Amino acid sequence: MHTSYKCYHPYISPFDPCKPIQTKCYSTPPNLYMTFQPTNLRQYDTPYQALCHGTLWPDLFDPYPNVRKEGTS
């Protein structure tokens, strides 16, 4: 299983005037890893759930913003 966000610790110069953000995260949604969608993937239990998520398949759903709240951007 992949993670929806990757975080890294950017280089921080001693001369950075703004308060440094120690950890920066970027989005890596499931479609990056799926290549070709496999057949017969599990679907949401109800059409209403699927509508709310914007997709029929939980495996394609990507939460935003980062639920783990690690840093920004």
Enumerate binding residues for other proteins (CB under 8 A).
2-3, 6-8, 10-11, 24, 26-28, 32-33, 73
Residue 67 has phi, psi (to 5 degrees) of -70, -20
Q: Which is nearer to other proteins, 7 or 50 (CB)?
A: 7
The CB-of-11 to other proteins minimum distance in angstroms stands at 6
| CA gap 9, 73 in Å, rounded | 12
Say if CB 42 and CB 60 are below 8 A apart.
no
Q: Which is nearer to other proteins, 4 or 55 (CB)?
A: 4
